[in-house]
Structure 1
Amino acid sequence: MILFKYILKNHVGPFFFAVFTLFAVFLLQFLMKFADRLIGKGLSLVVIVKLIVYNLAWMVVLVIPMSILVATLMAFGSMAQNNEIAIMKASGVSLYKMMLTPILVSIIIGYLLIQFNNHVYPDANHAARLLMEDISRKKPTLSLVPGVFSQEIPSYSILVRDVNQQQNEIKDITIYDFSSQSKTNIVTAKYGKIYFIPSQKKIIMDLYNGEIHQSDNFYPENYKRLKFIRDKIALPADQFTFEQSTPGGPRYDRELGAHDMLILVDSLNSIKQRRLTELKKAINEMLENKLSNNNSNKINIEKYSLAFQNLQADKNRINSMLNNIEYLNRQMDSYWVEIHKKYSIPFACIVFVLIGAPIGTMIRKGGFGIASGISLIFFLIYWAFLIGGEKLADRDLLSPFWGMWSANVVFLLFGIYLTIKTARERVELNFNFLTKLVPKNWRFAQNEIENS
């Protein structure tokens, strides 16, 4: 029992360190990818934090299995480097017993990750999509450039000659108002101020010493000219304000749990069966009509023309049914892919222990650099399998099961082979062959440093 606790203790530190590091990497990648969509829109810190928190969900799905692989490599590599693995084997403790605790813990983590994938991940994805759509609809705050017409406000064109950004003052203003279909207003003013009302719903232009020219679009002879000392114009500012949508509306496959998607798959399958029944009925009707036409003794051009038209109509009808069935198949495949993915990725936690433990024993290095490098290679291969399988399954070239589970099957067999081979004999894996790629003068300098 003490031995198992010791092995588990060696995993805890590297696991949380890997989780923190990988989260930082994924978070930096996310911010770099979406920075252009967030900067310059006047979003509050609360909104940005919400967006990051919602997107942490998909990061958890990737980070946890990879962190288990890194932690296993570091823990077993460190114990092998300190000859603890050799001492345990000499004491009668096999590699299988050493791996028992990490495997049991990985099963628990995998189960928790399944629950996360079915209950937290879909809601977080849905909230993230809605928030991102709300952000994308929000335009930057109104920016007036001296001497350039601004058309950021619908139905208005604004020209100013001078802008004081600190005081929100503008000079020599011209405003074309096309908000009314029957009338066009042109407002000019010597100077004024611009500001938002507290609710951010309207932009107020407080103008001084100006004129309003009003013309009728249907009766050009009706023209009015008004002078004012002070006038206020309220302009719509909905596109400059941020409003978060309430949860609801349609959800896509990555925004649903496995149970909900199974219900949808069952409904789609029922529709598919009805379409197949209708297709069989249509084909039978075509055959009956063809036989009745062939049995008729009267032959004329009009009859053949009508038969040809009916044949074309039946052909279009059957093609439409076949396209609809193909669409239903693709929809069901996409849902099945997501269902299997919710279980295949958590299962990778167990697979990575079977791979990490023997490789960590072989390399006899417990550093984060080597562990993260090897983990990255394996995870890239695993992810390539997963993405390739998903694409093939979505195109109905591969079953959704094998598309999502082929990586686990291959890695599981490879991990079992490595585990058995390492348990039966002492195998050491080194990377000395990489030193041949280093120039000789660099190797000589390194040797001098080590000897000194």
Structure 2
Amino acid sequence: MILIKYILRNHFAPFIFSVLTLIAIFILQFLMKFADRLVGKGLSTWVIIKLIAYNLAWMVVLVIPMSVLVAVLMAFGNMSQNNEITILKATGISLYKMMLPPFISSIVIAILLVYFNNHIYPDANHAARILMEDISRQKPTLSLVPGVFSQDVPNYSILARKVDTQKNELEELTIYDYSNLPKVNIVTASKGKIYLSRNQKKLIMDLINGEIHEADNSNPLEYRRLRFQHHKIAMPADQFTFEQSTPGGPRGDRELGAQDMLKIVDSLEVIFDKTQQNLNKKISQLAGNNLITTKSFLEDNLFSKYLYVRVNQRIKADESSILNVLYSIDYYKKEINRYWVEIHKKYSIPFACLVFVLIGAPLGTMTRKGGFGMAAGISLVFFLIYWAFLIGGEKLADRGLLSPFWGMWSANILLGILGIILTVKSAREKITLDFSFLTKYIPKSWLKPEEEYENN
């Protein structure tokens, strides 16, 4: 029991550190990717925090398996470096028993990740998509350039010759108001302020010392001029205020749990079978009736030209009908494959936690290095291999060139076999792998002091 606690304690700190580090990297990458869609739209800090929180779901799905691999590599690397593995083997404890605690822990993590993939991840993805659509519809805040007409507000054209952006004060204003056609109002003012109303629905122009010139295009003889000392204009500000839509509406395949997708797949397979039956029926009708009808039409010399045109039209119509059915079959088949890919993915990625324990433990024992730099480097190589298989399998499965099962599980199967081979060899023999030549490519800040000393 003490040994189990000791081994798990060696895994816990590297696992938490890896999770936090990788999530920070993913968040930074996310912000760099979507910065151009967020900057200049007047979004509050709370909206940005919610967007990041919703996108943490897909980050967690990727980070957890990779963190398991890093933690196992670091834990067993440290134990091997400190000769603890050798001591434990000398007391009769095999590598298999040492791997049992992290392997059982990885099973628990995988089960929790499956639950996360089916219940939390879909809702978070749905909320993130809706929020991102709301942000994309949001226009940038009103920007006034001195001496240039701004037409950001619908039905208004605004000119300010002097603009104080810090105080929102304007001077020498000219405003064309087209909101009440055919009447057109031209408003001039010496000074003014611009701000949003309390409910963020209206853009208020608070004007001082000016005139309102009102003309009616339908009646050229009518003209009015009003002078004012203080006047306010309320303009629509819907395009400058952010409103978040309520969750709901149709969901994509990554916004559904496995059970919901299985129901959709069942419905699609029923439609697919009916479409295939419809195709077989059409082909049998064409093979039986239409060829006989065509032959009888062409036997009549008197109406041969007319009948030839009619037959051609009928053949083209039948050809078009069959092509439509074939396109429908192809579409339903691709949709079924697409949903099956997502269903298998919800279970294959969590299962990778178990596979990475089988790979990480023997590699950590062989390398005899427990630093984060070495563990991160080896983990990155295996995770890139795993992800290449996963993405390639998904593309091939979506196109119907590979079954969804093999597309999503081939990486686990191949790396699992490799992990079993490495585990058996490491348990039976003393194998040491030297990756010291890689340390010159790793930042020195990632290395432990003793590792840095050894490389100098």
TM-score (norm 2): 0.92
Unaligned runs of 5+ in 1: 438-448
Aligned mates of 2:440, 2:50 — CA distance in 1: 50
Aligned mates of 1:141, 1:451 — CA distance in 2: 55
Instruction: Confirm whether residue 401 of structure 1 aligns to residue 400 of structure 2.
Output: no
Question: SS at 2:413's partner residue?
Answer: helix
Q: Deviations over 1:282-303 (max 9, x none)?
A: 2233231221221453141000
Tell me which stretches of 4 or more aligned residues in structure 1 moved more than 6 Å: 449-452
- Residue 290 of structure 1 corresponds to 291
- Residue 84 of structure 2 corresponds to 84
> For 1:386, which of 366, 369, 390 is the aligned residue?
390
**8 Å CA contact retained: 1:354, 1:415:** yes
Instruction: Confirm whether residue 209 of structure 1 aligns to residue 209 of structure 2.
Output: yes
- Residue 100 of structure 1 corresponds to 100
- Residue 363 of structure 1 corresponds to 367
Instruction: Confirm whether residue 11 of structure 1 aligns to residue 15 of structure 2.
Output: no
1:220 offset after TM fit, Å? 5.8
Aligned mates of 2:184, 2:38 — CA distance in 1: 36
| Aligned pairs for 1:26-425 within 5 A | 26-217=26-217, 219=218, 221-229=220-228, 230-287=230-287, 288-296=289-297, 297-299=299-301, 300-425=304-429
Question: SS at 1:141's partner residue?
Answer: coil
Aligned mates of 2:195, 2:437 — CA distance in 1: 69
Aligned mates of 2:431, 2:169 — CA distance in 1: 77
Aligned mates of 1:183, 1:281 — CA distance in 2: 66
235 and 14 in structure 1: CA distance in 2 versus 1, 3 angstrom threshold? same
**8 Å CA contact retained: 1:213, 1:223:** no
Percent identity, aligned pairs only, is 65
Q: Deviations over 1:123-179 (max 9, x none)?
A: 011111111111222223211111111111122221111112333221222222333
**8 Å CA contact retained: 2:70, 2:360:** yes
**8 Å CA contact retained: 1:208, 1:228:** no
Q: Deviations over 1:324-345 (max 9, x none)?
A: 1111111111111110100000
**8 Å CA contact retained: 2:374, 2:439:** no
Unaligned runs of 5+ in 2: 442-452
1:45 offset after TM fit, Å? 1.9
1:222 offset after TM fit, Å? 4.5
1:264 offset after TM fit, Å? 0.7
Alpha-carbon RMSD: 2.0
Aligned mates of 1:228, 1:167 — CA distance in 2: 25
Decide which moves more: 176-185 or 350-359. Answer: 176-185
Question: SS at 1:120's partner residue?
Answer: helix
1:190 offset after TM fit, Å? 2.6
Aligned mates of 1:332, 1:430 — CA distance in 2: 47
Decide which moves more: 149-158 or 186-195. Answer: 186-195
Aligned mates of 1:424, 1:237 — CA distance in 2: 73
Question: SS at 1:210's partner residue?
Answer: strand
Decide which moves more: 408-417 or 199-208. Answer: 199-208
**8 Å CA contact retained: 1:145, 1:163:** yes
1:317 offset after TM fit, Å? 1.2
The one-letter code of the counterpart of 2:227 is F
Decide which moves more: 133-142 or 241-250. Answer: 133-142
Count of residues paired in the alignment: 440
The one-letter code of the counterpart of 2:134 is D
Aligned mates of 2:241, 2:359 — CA distance in 1: 52
The one-letter code of the counterpart of 2:415 is F
The one-letter code of the counterpart of 2:293 is S
Q: Deviations over 1:345-370 (max 9, x none)?
A: 00000000000000000000111110
95 and 148 in structure 1: CA distance in 2 versus 1, 3 angstrom threshold? same
Question: SS at 1:224's partner residue?
Answer: strand
Aligned mates of 2:21, 2:34 — CA distance in 1: 20
236 and 435 in structure 1: CA distance in 2 versus 1, 3 angstrom threshold? closer
200 and 26 in structure 1: CA distance in 2 versus 1, 3 angstrom threshold? same
**8 Å CA contact retained: 2:202, 2:234:** yes
Aligned mates of 2:323, 2:455 — CA distance in 1: 79
**8 Å CA contact retained: 1:41, 1:138:** yes
Question: SS at 2:209's partner residue?
Answer: strand
Q: Deviations over 1:50-76 (max 9, x none)?
A: 111111111110111011100100111
